[in-house]
Amino acid sequence: MSLRKAVFLLCLASSTACLAVAFGIVGSWWGVGLAILPCVFPLIHGRIPARWLPRVYLVSMFCAAAVGMVTGATPHLILPGAVLALAVWDLMNQDRAMAGSGCEKKHARSLSLALCLGLLVAEGGLMVSLPLPYPIMLLLVILLVFCVSRVFRSLTMDSARRPGPPGR
Amino acid sequence: MSDRFLTLGLLSAGLLLAGVITQTSGLALMALPLLVYLGFGILESPTMEKIRLTAERSCDVRQTRDGAAVEVRVAVRNTGAAVSLLRLSDQPQPGMIITEGALRQFASLEPGEETSLTYTLQTARGGFQWSAVHATVSDPFGLFESELDLPAAAEVLVRPRVKKFRFFPLRPENTLHSPGQIPARLGGTGTDFWGVREYHVGDPLRRLDWRRTARHPHQFFTKEFEREEIADIGIILDARQASDVRSGEDCLFEHALSAAASLVESFLRRGNRVSFLMPGDEMTVVYPGYGKIQLHRILQILAKARPGSKQGYSSLDHVPLRLFGSRALVVIISPLVTADLQVFPRLRARGHQALLISPDPISFRRSSFPRDAAGRLAARLARIERRLELRGIAELGVRVIDWHVHEPLPPLVRDALGAARARRR
C-alpha cells in the first residue's frame, strides 16, 4: 500500500471516528449513522467514473458536522472531524499520476500546514468569546462573504482576461 | 478557477450564514479551516505575468518504419517565478500506442529548474505532428489553474513496412537506354552472347570473332553481346474511396499500400526508373526518378496516404498516363470497380506493358457476408462478376494478379513479370 493510500485511509477513518464519537457521546445514534454513511463515497471513488463523489462527500460530512454542532456535540471532536474530511476530499481530488513525483511531497506539506493552521485557528476561536451584538456579527459576516466574493470575482476576471492558448 | 474553489467558497459562505442565522458560533468556526485552505491556495496561486516556461521537444528519430518505437521527450524549463504544481500533457494522436511512460507529467519547478515529459510510442504508418505541449500551472491544491500551450514542435514520419522481394529477373517488353541489369534484346556491351556482325572501324580487337574471320579471308567479324538496360516503370496505387474496404480492424488499402511500397523498393533497388501516381481525393504524382531519393520521396507520400473520403475520381481512366514514359511498364494496384475497365485498352493502345495487381475485396470481406443462402449466393455472384472482369482485362494482354491479400505477393509478381519474356520467346 502506498503512503498516499495509507494517509487517505487514516484520514477517512479518523474523520468518521471523530464525528461518530462526538455524536455517540451525546447519545445521538442517528447522528452516528449520519457520520458513517458518507464513508461510502471515498471508498467507491475510482471504481465508478463520477467526478461529483468528492464534492458530495465533503458537503455531506460538513452537513453532518454542522448538525452535530447544532445538536450540542463537542466541537473539539467535530472540528478535527471536519478538517480531516477536508483532507480526505483533497486527497480524493488529487490526480493519481502525481504519485511518486516531487510535487506530491510539496502538496502533502502544504496540505498538512493549511489544515493544521485551520484547525488551530478554529480551536483558538472556541476559546475566544467576543460579546458582539447580533447585528454587528451579521454585518461582519456579510463583510467577510463580500470579501470572498470580491476575491472570487477578481480571479474570475483575471482568468477571463487571460489570452486563450493558441491552437485550442 | 476550478470547481474546487467554488465548492469550498460556497460551503464556507453557507456555514457562516448558517452560524449567524442559528446564532451558533461553532458553525462559523467550521468555516475557518476552509478559509485558511482557500487562503493558502490564493497565496500560492501563480500569476500569468510571472509564469515563464519554455519547452523543447525532441524525438529520437524523425523517420521510422511502421511498428517501430519512438521516444518523445519534451523538456520544460522554468525561467520565471517558482511554479507549485505544473501539469504537462500531450494530446494522443490516432494510431499512437504508448508503450512506456505517460502523456501526462506532474512537476514542481523552482526558478531555473527543468523537467521533462518522456514517453515511448509505438506507431502505425502515418505522420505525427506536434505543435505545442499543454501546460497547466496551479497552486498545490489545484484551486486556481492557468492553462497555456507552450510551443514545442516536432514531426515524426512513419513509413509503411517494406517487405523486401527476393531477386527475380525482371523481363519488361521495353527498356530505357541506360545501363542496367535487364537484357534489352539489342546488341551492345553486356555479358550474354547476342550475335556476330561485320567489323566496323573502332570495334575493340578483343571482340573480333577470329574463327569466322579465319573462314572468310579479307573480312573481319565482331561478336556482339546483349545490352543490359534499365526498365521504366510506372506504379498506380488506387487510393479512391472504393479501395477503402474494411473487415474489422483490417483494411484492404493497407495491404495494397504495403505491396506498392515493396514493389517500389524492389524496382528502385535494381536501378530502374520509377514514377508513381495515386488517385484519391486528389491526384498525387511523383515524376520519374531513380535511386534512394526517389524511394524516399515515394515512401514519404505512402506514409501519409489515406484512402479517399469523398467521391473523387470515378474511374482510373482519368489518370494522366502521359506521366509515364513511352512504352513503360505500368503496374496498377487496385481492387477495381467496373468503371475502371476502360483504362486497360487505353494503356495497351499507348504501347504500355501492364500488370494489374488486384487485391480481392470479396475474399477479404468474406466474414462479413451473411451466412444464409442469399448471402452465399450474393458472394458467389460477386466472385463470378469479378472473375469475368479480370478475364476481360487479361484478354487485352494485361498480366493480371488476382491477389488474396493473405497470400504472399512476391511469387505472383515473379511469375507475372519474370516469365513474361520467356513465354514471348
Residues of A within 8 A of B19 (CB-CB) are 141
CB contact under 8 A, B18 and A66: yes
Report the SS3 class of residue B58: strand
Nearest neighbour of A148 by CB, restricted to B13, B104, B106: B13
For chain A, what is the radius of gyration of the CA atoms? Answer: 19
> Which residue type is seen at B240?
R
User: Which of A69, A93, A110 lies at the smallest CB-CB distance from B27?
Assistant: A69
Contact list in B for residue A121 (CB cut-off 8 A) is 32-33, 36
Q: What is the pLDDT of residues B114-143, one digit of tens each?
A: 888 899 988 888 888 888 999 988 888 888
A125 pLDDT more than 90: no
CA dihedral B368, B369, B372, B373 (to 10 degrees): -170
Choose the mutation target among A95, A96, A107, A154 for the interface with B, i.e. most B CBs under 10 Å.
A107
Q: Which amino acid is at B268?
A: L
B17 pLDDT above the threshold of 90: no
Using the beta-carbon criterion (under 8 Å), do A103 and B131 form an inter-chain contact?
A: no
Distance from CA of B330 to the nearest CA of A (A): 44
Asked if residue B13 has pLDDT above 90, the reply is no
User: Testing the interface with B: which of A62, A94, A143 to mutate, by most B Cβ within 10 A?
Assistant: A62
The SS3 of residue B322 is helix
N-to-C CA span, chain B: 82
Residue A165's pLDDT is: 46
Residue B171 is which amino acid? Answer: R
The set of residues, in sequence order, having a beta carbon less than 8 Å from that of B61 and lying 6+ positions away, is B68, B70, B156
- Please identify which residue in the block is written with the cell numbers 504508448: B98
- Output the CA–CA distances (angstroms, integers) from residue B201 to A163, B194, B206, B221, B226, in the order listed: 84, 20, 13, 11, 20
pLDDT confidence bin for B320, thresholds 50/70/90: confident
Rounded Cα–Cα distance for residues A106 and B84 (Å): 8
Segments making up each domain of chain A, as ranges: 3-161
Model pLDDT for residues A66-107, shown as the tens digit of each residue: 998 888 888 888 999 999 999 999 888 887 777 767 778 888
Within B45-108, residue ranges assigned H as helices are none
State the smallest CA–CA distance between residue A108 and chain B in angstroms: 9
Probe site for chain B from A105, A110, A147, A149 (most B CB atoms < 10 A): A110
Question: By the 8 A CB rule, do B12 and B35 touch?
Answer: yes
pLDDT of residue B237: 93
Complex confidence, ipTM: 0.83
More confident residue, B233 or A166: B233
Each residue's pLDDT tens digit, A25-71:
888 888 888 888 888 888 887 777 777 888 888 999 999 999 988 88
Please report the pLDDT score of residue B234 as a whole number.
93
- Asked if the model's pLDDT at residue B409 lies above 80, the reply is yes
Task: Of A137-151, B91-105, B346-360, B402-416, give the lowest mean pLDDT range.
Answer: A137-151
CB count within 10 Å of CB A57 equals 23
Cross-chain Cβ contact A156/B1 below 8 Å:
yes
- Chain A nearest-CA distance from B51, in A, is 12
CA distances from B267 to A144, B204, B271, B414 (A): 81, 33, 7, 12
How distant is the Cα of B183 from the closest Cα of chain A, in angstroms?
57
Query: Least CB-CB distance to B140: which of A107, A134, A167?
Result: A107
Beta bridge mates, B138: B85, B145
**How many CB pairs below 8 A link A and B?**
149
C-alpha cell at B11: 460551503
pLDDT at A161: 52
Interface contact flag, A97 B105, Cβ < 8 Å = yes
The yes-or-no verdict on residue A139 having pLDDT over 80 is no
Q: Measured between alpha carbons, how far is B381 from B379 in angstroms, rounded to an integer?
A: 6
Contact yes or no for A93 and B17 at CB 8 A: no
Geometric angle at alpha carbon B296, from B329 and B410, rounded to 5°: 50
Strands B329-333 and B232-237: what pairing? Answer: parallel
